[in-house]
Amino acid sequence: MPGRRHEIPERRAVLQKNFYFLARRFVAGETIGSAIEAVRALNAAGMSATLDFLGEDVFERDAAIRTRDVYLEMLDSIRAGGIDSNVSVKLTAIGLRIDENLAYDNLKSIMDHAAANADPFVRIDMEGSAVLEATLRVFDRAFAASKNVGPVLQAYLKRTAADVDRAIAIGARVRLCKGAYNEPPDIAYKDMPDIRVNYLKLAHKLLEQGVYPGIATHDRRLIAAIKQFVAERHIANDRFEFQMLYGCRPRVQREIVAQGYRLRIYVPFGTHWAGYFYRRVLERRENALFALSSIFSR
């Protein structure tokens, strides 16, 4: 039901409530209703969206089912509200750490429900490397059932070149990002220049051979290089989309739309914003400053 608050244990709720003012730049409210309104505003500015119900690492079956049900509600609200949005889901929020089959069943319910929407696509967010293999296994099963599902691949991982080749071979829609988790150097590039080089290499391949890739980054250098590449190769603007996070670099977001590119905004909502917010702050000093500046502009 739009407008309903999704409850969390009391002590954590108090903590989260008191610090929410810090995160609110990056989170579109606590309810489905507030997220739908945020998407409506983005749509009016020429951007599409993907909605994410915040939460991860669920260890109780009931909680995983509740999260699935929120996704079903979200999909109904997207349809009823006539907004341009699909959904993104973290498999550990719908049971991956409990039982892979549970995560698959929940994902399949979400996909079946999404099939009735104007945009039936379901994006599987990628989490830490500990759950990467399981995430891709669940993706494979889901993709065998419907093509309206796609993984996120992370350019900081050394294995991702092979995962990109495989996604291209099976025709899966990939979102490419740098990666947001702290991974060890034996499996991940740790220096930003190396990550950028790998990102561009993988993005070029996806743009030339992949199916409608999502180029997810706020990195001006990468964005400029991608624009140059698609112009040189005559890759039409409807063959891919840029993707950015809600509240991150709004000026760049508007610029991209004004230049005629497609842009999808990742819109997270809900009360479990802490993990998401910490990742944004840890990766960029600017994000912490933005959050703090909101204290003075309240």
Ligand X SMILES: Cc1cc2nc3c(=O)[nH]c(=O)nc-3n(C[C@H](O)[C@H](O)[C@H](O)COP(=O)(O)OP(=O)(O)OC[C@H]3O[C@@H](n4cnc5c(N)ncnc54)[C@H](O)[C@@H]3O)c2cc1C
Per CB under 6 A, residues contacting ligand X are 125-126, 152, 154, 177-181, 216-220, 243-245, 248-249, 266, 283-284, 286-287, 290
Among the options 125, 173, 196, 280, which is catalytic?
125
Nearer to ligand X, 30 or 125 (CB): 125
Nearer to ligand X, 76 or 294 (CB): 294
- Nearest approach, Cβ of 17 to ligand X (angstroms)? 24
User: For residue 264, what are the CA distances in angstroms to 15, 167, 195, 246?
Assistant: 31, 21, 22, 10
- Nearest approach, Cβ of 288 to ligand X (angstroms)? 10
Question: What tokens were used for 130?
Answer: 């500990």
- Nearest approach, Cβ of 241 to ligand X (angstroms)? 10
Q: Which contacts of 188-197 are long-range, i.e. CB under 8 A and separated by 24 or more positions?
A: 188/129, 188/156, 188/157, 188/158, 189/155, 189/156, 189/157, 189/158, 190/156, 195/155, 195/156, 196/221, 196/222
Look up 125 and say whether it is catalytic.
yes
* Bridge partners, residue 241, by sequence: 214
CA atoms of 176 and 216, how far apart (whole Å) = 6
Q: What 3-state DSSP class applies to 297?
A: coil
Residue showing tokens 């990109």? 164
Name the residue among 171, 151, 275 with its Cα closest to residue 216.
151
Look up 119 and say whether it is catalytic.
no
Altogether, the residues listed in the chain come to a count of: 298
- Nearest approach, Cβ of 276 to ligand X (angstroms)? 10
Among the options 175, 196, 264, 280, which is catalytic?
175
Nearer to ligand X, 249 or 272 (CB): 249
Nearer to ligand X, 98 or 288 (CB): 288
Residues serving a catalytic function are: 125, 175
